[in-house]
Amino acid sequence: MSLALGLRCVNCEKEYPLKILYNCPNCGGILDVFYDKLRGKAGNEKRLIVDESIQGLWTYREYLPVLNKENICSLIEGKTPLIRSKIDFDSFIAEELFFKDETRNPSGSFKDRPTTVAISKAIENGIQGVITASSGNAGTATAAYAAVASLPSIILVPEKVPKEKLMQMFVYGSKIIKVKGDYSNSFNLAKEIAVKCDYANLTSTYYNPYGLEGDKTIAYELFDQLKGLVPKYILVPIGTGPLLTGIYKGYKELKKLGFINKLPRMIGVQAMGCAPIVKAYNEKRNKVEPWDLVDTIASGISDPLKGYSQDGTYTLKTIKNSNGCAISVSDEEILKSVLVLGKQQGLYVEPTSASVIIAYEKLRKMNIIRERDLTVSIITGIGFKDTKPLMDSLNSIPLIEPTFDKFKEIEMLWG
Ligand SMILES: *Cc1c(COP(=O)(O)O)cnc(C)c1O
Ligand SMILES: [Zn+2]
């Protein structure tokens, strides 16, 4: 049974039923799902109530906003592994660093979490079709889940979306439209189409209030995987930021339940070529301003927030409330980190997701994160999704005649 009671505006606190609603009809603020008094398993055990009849993150459905199990649309997402770092940073070791490997989700990124919840809730509300504005992965996830639900789906993407993500949506059978300009143009158009044509808008900013509930299950899983220990820091690549805020919400719930007595510090990582939240953080402002010109290879987090900068402000507020910080990294550093994760950890990630590695290294060097601080980095998306930034590296691969002598020549070159 779900303990969800309704939606509450984070701004004016007005409450609404669990219907298809986006921003607060009263003041335009972000809506957040609220719950009845949370409870854990009976007895003294610090354990969440789980529904063993469902696999993946829906086992936590007591704490999710879908009321009827029949409406759950799932590809069995979540329950991803937590892996200890083996990376040898030049000047230090990082034994207390862990990776939450979200690349293992059905469509290859964590976006399956918000999407499974948002689409299930849309189905519960009897919607006939879904639309998503996406920098790639949210659209891919929407396409996959719409296929499972046999619902028509429309995906709006910015011009520069990686081809692999487009291909994935195409194979899942969505109607795809490329929209000129950056991600914000797709976002604002999807909003208009959804309202005028009666599609549920699953866009994974804070706009659809249900997605974040899927993100928060990462906290529940970490609680189990770390046997109740709370990480001191959690590093998250952020576009708009619901992933970061969702994880923090999950931890706040665990604290309300009395399972833990402290909260993690949330660290938001952006690319220097699109860093509106980091900019506001560095300038000690409380309000995030939209970013003008997007220029980065980190396609999954290139969100300039034009027209909805209150979403960035909300993420900044989470970061500050948690005593965390925001940091930006360069494209060059990101590409190096992709190779570090591949070569030293056996993880093949899209460039966006490698940003947390260089951020960790920088924060260690600044002595903000220390050697013994338990830290979790969220590895958000798989490498197959965005290969262009590294494609030129393949030019160095030799082509030889099939003889041992030729092989020997090459081996000499390797040194
Ligand atoms: C969407 C996305 C993010 C950012 O998530 P937000 O919740 O929008 O901040 C990070 N990494 C990847 C690979 C993504 O697709
Ligand atoms: Zn309001």
Task: Output the CA 411–ligand 1 centroid distance in Å.
Answer: 41
Q: In angstroms, what is the C-alpha Rg of the chain? A: 21
Q: What is the pLDDT along the chain (415 residues), one digit of tens a residue?
A: 899 999 999 999 999 999 999 999 999 999 999 999 999 988 778 999 999 999 999 999 999 999 999 999 999 999 999 999 999 998 888 999 999 999 999 999 999 999 999 999 999 999 989 999 998 999 999 999 999 999 999 999 999 899 999 999 999 999 999 999 988 899 999 999 998 988 999 998 999 999 999 999 999 999 999 999 999 999 999 999 999 999 999 999 999 999 999 999 999 999 999 999 999 999 999 999 999 999 999 999 999 999 899 999 999 999 999 999 999 999 999 999 999 999 999 999 999 999 999 999 999 999 999 999 999 999 999 999 999 999 999 999 999 999 999 999 999 998 8
Residue 381 Cα: closest atom of ligand 1: 13
Residue nearest to atom 14 of ligand 1 (CA): 300
Ion ligand 2: residues, Cβ under 5 Å: 9, 11-12, 14, 24, 26-27, 29
Task: Give whole-number Cα distances, 279 to 201, 256, 312, 329, in Å.
Answer: 29, 32, 11, 12
Task: List residues near ligand 1 (CB under 6 A).
Answer: 109, 111, 137, 204, 237-243, 300-301, 350, 352-353, 380-381
Task: Output the CA 110–ligand 1 centroid distance in Å.
Answer: 8
Q: Which ligand is nearest to the CA of 271?
A: 1
Secondary structure of the chain as H, E, C letters: CCCEEEEEECCCCCEECCCCCCCCCCCCCCEEEEECCCCCCCCCCCCCCCCCCCCHHHHHHHHCCCCCHHHCCCCCCCCCCEEECCCEECCEECCCEEEEEHHHCCCCECCHHHHHHHHHHHHHCCCCCEEEECCCHHHHHHHHHHHHHCCCEEEEEECCCCHHHHHHHHHHCCEEEEECCCHHHHHHHHHHHHHHHCCEECCCCCCCCCHHHHHCHHHHHHHHHCCCCCCCEEEEECCCCHHHHHHHHHHHHHHHCCCCCCCCEEEEEEECCECHHHHHHHCCCCCCCCCCCCCCCCHHHCCCCCCCHHHHHHHHHHHHHCCCEEEEECHHHHHHHHHHHHHHHCCCECHHHHHHHHHHHHHHHCCCCCCCCCEEEEECEEHHHCCHHHHHHHHHCCCCCCCHHHHHHHHHHHC
Residue among 113, 132, 137 to mutate when testing ligand 1 (max atoms within 8 A of CB): 137
Q: Which ligand is nearest to the CA of 355?
A: 1
Residue 245 Cα: closest atom of ligand 1: 7
- List the domain boundaries for the chain: 82-105+211-391
C-alpha angle 286-248-83 in degrees, rounded to nearest 5: 125
Closest CA to 266 of 313, 234, 222: 234
Is the separation of the CB atoms in 204 and 132 below 8 Å? yes
Task: Output the CA 92–ligand 1 centroid distance in Å.
Answer: 28
Is the separation of the CB atoms in 259 and 223 below 8 Å? yes
Task: Output the CA 46–ligand 1 centroid distance in Å.
Answer: 31
Are β-strands 15-16 and 265-271 bridged in parallel, bridged antiparallel, or unpaired?
unpaired
CB 350: neighbour CB atoms within 10 A? Answer: 31
Residue among 100, 101, 110, 248 to mutate when testing ligand 1 (max atoms within 8 A of CB): 110
The domain 82-105+211-391 having CATH identifier 3.40.50.720: the answer here is: no
> Does the pTM exceed 0.85?
yes
Is the separation of the CB atoms in 352 and 300 below 8 Å? yes
Task: Output the CA 310–ligand 2 centroid distance in Å.
Answer: 13
Q: Which ligand is nearest to the CA of 300?
A: 1
Taking only the tens place, the pLDDT of each residue in 109-122 is 999 999 999 999 99
Task: Output the CA 16–ligand 2 centroid distance in Å.
Answer: 10
Task: Output the CA 8–ligand 2 centroid distance in Å.
Answer: 8
Residue among 165, 243, 353, 382 to mutate when testing ligand 1 (max atoms within 8 A of CB): 243
Q: Residue written as tokens 């040194």? A: 415
